[in-house]
Amino acid sequence: MEDLILNKIIETSNNNITVIDSEGIIVHSNPEHWVNYGMKPGTYKGTSIYDLEKEGLLAPSIGAIVLNEKIKKTILQHTKTDRVIMSTGYPVFDEKEELLFVVSYSHDQTEILELQQQYEKMERKVKGYQTEVEELREKEFEQNGIIARSSAAQHILKTIYNISKTDATVLLLGPSGVGKSTFARILHSHSNRKKEQFIEVNCSTIPEGLFESEIFGYETGAFTGANKQGSEGLIEQADGGTLFLDEIGELPLSMQAKLLKVLQEKKIKRLGGKKERTINFRLVTATNQDLEKMVQEGRFRLDLYYRLNVIPLQIPSLEERKEDISYLVQDCLQKFNSAYNVKKRIHPSTYDVFTNYNWPGNIRELENLMERLILTIEDEVIYPTHLPANFNTFQTNSSFSLDNIEQPLKVTNNLKEILENTEIQIILKALKKCKTTYEMATYLGISQPTVIYKLKKYKNKLDHS
């Protein structure tokens, strides 16, 4: 009876179960199990697994392995029929620790492995496409004169690309000339609204008295000097597209309240008009001011600040993306050489000075300087001596010398220690001179991730220096 039950369990199991005795003779097995090995179905009771192994049918036999090693083992078998079988064998001992028999479970893994291989292939393909898309995007940006080689700028571009398809309100933050307007335009040109208008309003340039009529438009005879037919405001012009309010920190408090109302109701009323018009626009704003501080000082409405600050994006200064400087310089060189029909070149030492300079006016300052140099320098090559006086202090910083090390090196004969000590001294020097890890990377002539790695590696020693 017990045998019958055991046989039934073995026959109906999802796994193929084989039992062999201590001599390697098959005691029980699923008849179908052997088909995977290119054999006819059958119990093969009484057959030696060593004989089957010799015939090359089991390659190798899990039973033989467990009989030999006397421990649980799992192996993958590649059969003559091109199947991959995973077999796990368990040794069964009597109370005297004598091996009685081996029970093995086998499962055909061929389909799973094939699926896994297909999945890995697909994953590689998707990764390949992703890289291609990123490269194409990079090329497209560069063709449009957008330089973003540094990881900081790349990160912003990726974020902008990811949020471009949504309608979320974006607040671009950062000092003057970093590219806030440029990024706002990129956001629009990659959005679903790209075929509609991108309306840019600089809040600091519209006189307070004209603000309302400019932004909301006006109806016939709204005020003296107004156009007879009335006029559509900038918000109306942005209908379906993007409204970009630059220098939003300059918006007068009275206008802040009106803008908030438009954002809440998505409706506008022209000056002197009664009719309300529903407007659908995406709002992007930018500022180089500290809006939170302005809120605390009562110069900016908190409720409007919350409305604008849905996705805040801090655009890095040029100092934080030094890797971009030489590309921007080359880009300007090409642009202005061709615009002014000249063939100016930049001496490598000038690039060094440019990289070490802090560029308070960011990309705009770099562009202006390049244009001025190309127009005013008579020599074909631009040397550091051609640069304005404020670049002087950055000329001496451009080279690093071991002679400048301030702290004495620890006396040791161990070369590894000497090298590490020297490296720590150099990093200390860079830490004193530079404000950011990007700056340190340029200063030391290594990548920014390497700077991070080294700072982590020597953290304890640097903390105690």
Ligand X SMILES: Nc1ncnc2c1ncn2[C@@H]1O[C@H](COP(=O)(O)OP(=O)(O)OP(=O)(O)O)[C@@H](O)[C@H]1O
Give the residues lining the site for ligand X (CB under 6 A): 145-148, 174, 176-182, 246, 288, 328, 363-364, 367
Taking the least distance from each CB to ligand X, the nearer of 103 and 374 is 374
Q: Would you state the structure tokens that stand for residue 448, as one six-digit string?
A: 């920014």
Residue 441 Cβ, how far from ligand X at the closest point, in Å?
Answer: 19
Taking the least distance from each CB to ligand X, the nearer of 63 and 177 is 177
Spacing of C-alpha 456 from chain mean position: 22
Residue 252 Cβ, how far from ligand X at the closest point, in Å?
Answer: 19
Residue 153 Cβ, how far from ligand X at the closest point, in Å?
Answer: 6
Comparing every residue's Cβ against ligand X, the nearest one is: 179
Taking the least distance from each CB to ligand X, the nearer of 44 and 183 is 183
Residue 55 DSSP class: T
Taking the least distance from each CB to ligand X, the nearer of 62 and 206 is 206
Taking the least distance from each CB to ligand X, the nearer of 33 and 180 is 180
Taking the least distance from each CB to ligand X, the nearer of 56 and 145 is 145
Q: What are phi and psi of 20, to 5 degrees?
A: -120, 155
- Rounded to whole angstroms, the Cα distance separating 105 from 406 reads 70
Residue 180 Cβ, how far from ligand X at the closest point, in Å?
Answer: 3
Residue 346 Cβ, how far from ligand X at the closest point, in Å?
Answer: 17
Q: Which residues of 3-19 are buried (b: 16+ CB within 10 A; e: fewer)?
A: eeeeeeebeeeebbbbb
* Sign, CA torsion 150/151/152/155: positive
Taking the least distance from each CB to ligand X, the nearer of 103 and 328 is 328
Residue 177 Cβ, how far from ligand X at the closest point, in Å?
Answer: 5
Asked whether 314 and 174 are in contact (CB, 8 A), the reply is yes
- Rounded to whole angstroms, the Cα distance separating 225 from 115 reads 75
Residue 137 Cβ, how far from ligand X at the closest point, in Å?
Answer: 13
Residue listed under structure tokens 């896994």: 116
DSSP code per residue over 197-244: -EEEEETTTS-HHHHHHHHHEE-TTSSTT--TT-EE-HHHHTTTSEEE
